[in-house]
């Protein structure tokens, strides 16, 4: 039965609900704390004596005394023997929350690169895998574990990488990380601690690499990419102790590194006592022929192989891995320990269950033809609406590069397309110096249906022509 009571001496209106499962003392504390936080009880205001408030509320005086003592300990009340209880001088109302502006509506058709089909995330399989992890995880797996990650996942993942990617993966030299960006940071910090001052990065390439290198206090040096992959002669002149490459499907040009360039790159690493950091980007989705094996499989003591499930499953899972060279395994694990003491173990065990059960492979088999159909939809839409556009980088992954004809202005095309609710992304955002020539677009199609792809290209056909 609920009751409201007014203390005539202080004008204090309180409500206690005797039918509530919340204890009366907790109700009284919450009520007084809330009035102070809201400003209805101001600093210096007098509270009624405990005996009078207890009588008005129909509760014991001990309950009110304990309540006052608790709020005094929290700093809300000032109470001294022989004097009245008041709201503490330094108790101030909580600021009213600022009304966050409504997020701007995104483009109706968003050609954002690097995003998989989020609607096809295998929710049932992931829920099953989480259930398996919770059901079978030993209690010791629920404490702080090995900073390298779950031994179960490292063994399953090493087996998978050996089988599918031709990697020389040793579970004892693997570190589980929170996605590719953290993995890159861990490797660069370990190299920096060993005396490295420069890391070479592919030009063009994602801008976050320079940010990660800067946070590791290592200078990032751009090295150009041509139709065969990274220019090894230019790399040799860069004076770098390491290089970050995407040999399976270069980001963003889509170039696949040729065998000759791969061998030249590994020879550079041996001759300069350097490390190759291999981003195994988009390796799961190759359409025209069998996937190309990793560089790491050719030189495991010279190559740190980084991968994640951001493209194969979803970026939100924040799970990746590093197959470490022998000399870097312990330093990278140490950096991981200092970073966050390890990734969530139950998520790691769930990924292990997904891999071990074959459900991960089944998901990839289901997605390959879906992405291939979207790739074909992009090709056909450009052929129909902008036949002069040259497209490249379609051998793998789910983005393509469109080279704009004539004297097209890349930034104007991107800005005008946005006014038509079509999101485009220029190659200039991947270039070290932000150059807009030659004018190119990086068109992601992974998270778009075939219909949306056709609609988006039709809406900007005149811009592309």
Q: pLDDT tens digits for 195-238? A: 999 999 999 998 888 889 888 999 999 999 999 999 999 999 99
Q: How many CB atoms lie within 10 A of CB 330?
A: 13
Torsion of Cα atoms, 151 then 153 then 156 then 157, to 10°: -120
What average pLDDT score do residues 184-199 get?
96
Reported as a single tens digit per residue, the pLDDT across 336-354 is: 999 998 999 999 999 999 9
The CATH number assigned to the domain with range 109-113+365-464 reads 3.90.1150.10
Contacts 24+ apart (CB under 8 A), 190-194: 190/328, 190/331, 190/332, 190/334, 190/335, 191/216, 191/218, 191/241, 191/242, 191/275, 191/328, 192/216, 192/217, 192/218, 193/331, 193/335, 194/331
* DSSP code of residue 430: G
- Tell me which H or E stretch contains 313: none
Structure tokens given for 395: 């051998």
Give residue-wise pLDDT tens across range 416-450: 999 999 999 999 999 999 999 999 999 999 999 99
Contact between 228 and 255 under an 8 Å Cβ cutoff? The reply is: yes
pLDDT tens figures, 115-141: 999 999 999 999 999 999 999 999 999
Q: What is the pLDDT of residues 59-87, one digit of tens each?
A: 999 999 999 999 999 989 987 777 788 99
Q: Which CATH number fits domain 121-357: 3.30.420.10, 2.40.10.220, 3.40.640.10, 3.40.50.1580?
A: 3.40.640.10
Q: Nearest Cα to 148, choosing from 127, 171, 129, 164?
A: 171
CATH fold group of domain 2-87 = Arc Repressor Mutant, subunit A (1.10.10)
Asked if the bond preceding 252 is cis, omega within 30° of 0, the reply is: yes
Mean pLDDT computed over every residue of the chain: 91
The whole-number average pLDDT for the span 281-299 is: 83
Predicted confidence (pLDDT) at residue 3 exceeds the cutoff of 70: no
Q: Residue 338's closest CA among 346, 330, 347, 349?
A: 330
Q: What percent of the chain has pLDDT over 70?
A: 97
Residue 241 pLDDT more than 60? yes
Share of the chain above pLDDT 90, in %: 73
Angle between helical axes of 180-193 and 208-215 (0-180°, round to 10)? 40
Q: Scanning the structure block, which residue is given the tokens 């009245």?
A: 84
Q: Report the distance separating Cα 320 and Cα 463, nearest Å.
A: 39
- Vertex 338: Cα angle to 332 and 341 (nearest 5): 95
Inter-residue contact 28 to 64 (CB < 8 Å): yes
Report the pLDDT averaged over residues 156-180: 96
Residue 297, pLDDT above cutoff 70: yes
DSSP letter (8 states) at residue 173: G
- Cβ neighbors of 459 (< 8 A, separation 6 or more) are 109, 417, 420, 421, 422
Instruction: Identify the pLDDT of residue 11.
Output: 55
Backbone angles phi, psi at 323, to 5 degrees: -90, 105
Q: Is the pLDDT of residue 305 over 80?
A: yes
Residue 103 confidence (pLDDT): 73
Residue with tokens 């200092």: 338
CA separation for the pair 58, 377 (Å, rounded): 74
pTM exceeding the 0.85 threshold for the entire prediction: no
Question: Has residue 315 got a pLDDT over 60?
Answer: yes
pLDDT at residue 408 greater than cutoff 60: yes
Domain boundaries, the chain: 2-87, 109-113+365-464, 121-357
- Is a pLDDT exceeding 80 seen at residue 365? yes
- Got the DSSP string for 49-77? PHHHHHHHHTS-HHHHHHHHHHHHHTTSE
3-state secondary structure 123-169: HHHHHHHHHHHHHHCCHHHHCCCCCCCCHHHHHHHHHHHHHHHCCCC
- Whether 180 shows a pLDDT value over 50: the answer reads yes
Q: Give the pLDDT band (50/70/90) at residue 9.
A: very low
* Lowest-pLDDT choice from 77-81, 173-177, 319-323, 459-463: 77-81
């Amino acid at each position: 039965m609920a009751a409201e009571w007014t203390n005539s001496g202080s004008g204090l209106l309180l409500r206690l609900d005797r039918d509530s499962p919340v204890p009366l003392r907790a109700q009284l504390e919450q009520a007084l704390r809330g009035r102070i936080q809201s400003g209805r009880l101001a600093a210096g205001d007098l509270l009624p004596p405990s005996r009078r408030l207890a009588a008005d509320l129909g509760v014991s005086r001990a309950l009110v005394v304990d309540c006052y003592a608790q709020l005094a300990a929290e700093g809300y009340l000032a109470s001294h023997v022989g004097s009245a209880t008041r709201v503490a001088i330094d108790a101030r109302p909580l600021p009213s929350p600022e009304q966050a502006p409504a997020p701007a509506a995104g483009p109706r058709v968003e050609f954002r690169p690097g995003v998989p089909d989020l609607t096809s995330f295998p929710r049932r399989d992931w829920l099953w895998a989480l259930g398996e992890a919770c059901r079978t995880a030993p209690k010791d797996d629920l404490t702080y574990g090995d900073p390298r990650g779950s031994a179960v996942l490292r063994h399953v993942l090493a087996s998978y990488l050996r089988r599918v990617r031709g990697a020389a993966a040793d579970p004892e030299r693997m570190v589980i990380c929170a996605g590719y960006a953290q993995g890159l940071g861990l490797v660069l910090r370990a190299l920096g601690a060993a005396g490295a001052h420069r890391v070479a990065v592919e030009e063009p390439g994602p801008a976050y690499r320079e940010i990660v290198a800067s946070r590791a206090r290592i200078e990032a040096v751009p090295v150009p990419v041509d139709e065969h992959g990274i220019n090894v002669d230019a790399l040799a002149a860069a004076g770098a102790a390491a290089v970050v490459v995407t040999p399976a499907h270069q980001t963003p040009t889509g170039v696949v590194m040729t065998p000759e360039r791969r061998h030249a790159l590994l020879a550079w690493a041996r001759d300069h006592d350097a490390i190759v950091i291999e981003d195994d980007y988009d390796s799961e989705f190759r359409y025209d022929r069998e996937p190309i094996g990793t560089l790491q499989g050719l030189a495991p003591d010279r190559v740190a192989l980084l991968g994640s499930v951001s493209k194969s499953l979803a970026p939100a899972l924040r799970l990746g891995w590093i197959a470490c060279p022998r000399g870097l395994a312990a330093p990278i694990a140490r950096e991981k320990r200092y970073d966050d003491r390890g990734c969530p173990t139950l998520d790691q065990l769930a990924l292990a269950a997904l891999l071990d059960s074959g459900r991960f492979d089944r998901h990839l088999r289901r997605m390959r033809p879906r992405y291939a159909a979207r790739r074909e939809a992009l090709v056909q839409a450009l052929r129909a609406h902008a036949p002069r556009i040259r497209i490249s980088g379609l051998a793998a992954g789910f983005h393509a590069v469109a080279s704009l004809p004539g004297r097209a202005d890349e930034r104007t095309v991107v800005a005008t397309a946005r006014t038509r609710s079509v999101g485009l992304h220029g190659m200039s955002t991947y270039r070290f110096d932000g150059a807009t020539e030659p004018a190119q677009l990086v068109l992601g199609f992974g998270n778009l249906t075939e219909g949306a792809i056709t609609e988006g290209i039709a809406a900007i056909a005149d811009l592309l022509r």
